[in-house]
Amino acid sequence: MLSSMAGIFGDVGQSSYCAANTYQDALARYRVSIGEKASSIDLGIVTSEGYVAENQVVMDRLTMLNLFRPLSTREVLALLDYVCNPDLPPSRPCRSQIVTGFELPADIESKGRDVPSAMEQPFF
């Protein structure tokens, strides 16, 4: 399933969208827990497709935060090729959700920026 990192990061004014994305994440986890194959891919900014790519003001606002690592369409398709490979063994519930699009705290620090306090949680 294609989901969004909005379910992880949140988005002011879009709680229903965020909730729907976390539902997809939970559904993938549940399906894997009962032995079925499933994955939820939480996409971040895709540089050439989607809402952010079509709205320069939104792209600029998100880029200014310096928290996100945009993905190319090629990277998204490569990820789908991997996840949809029928030869992959069933996953474990803790691996059913793939989160993309965030800068890693170490990468943020290496660029001389402060890591946001929320990213200092063990989750990241």
The per-residue pLDDT for range 85-94, each reduced to its tens digit, is 999 887 888 8
Smallest Cα–Cα separation from 5: which of 108, 120, 93, 123? Answer: 123
What's the confidence (pLDDT) of residue 123? 62
Q: Which residue has the higher pLDDT, 97 or 115?
A: 97
What's the confidence (pLDDT) of residue 61? 87
What's the confidence (pLDDT) of residue 33? 95
- State the pLDDT confidence band at 114, using cuts at 50, 70 and 90: confident
CATH class of the region 2-120:
alpha beta
Q: How far apart are CA 62 and CA 84, in angstroms?
A: 29
Beta carbons of 66 and 113 less than 8 angstroms apart: yes
Instruction: Express each pLDDT in 36-80 by its tens digit.
Output: 999 999 998 998 888 888 999 988 888 888 788 899 999 999 999
Q: How far apart are CA 2 and CA 50, in angstroms?
A: 12
What's the confidence (pLDDT) of residue 38? 93
Domain ranges, ordered by start, for the chain: 2-120
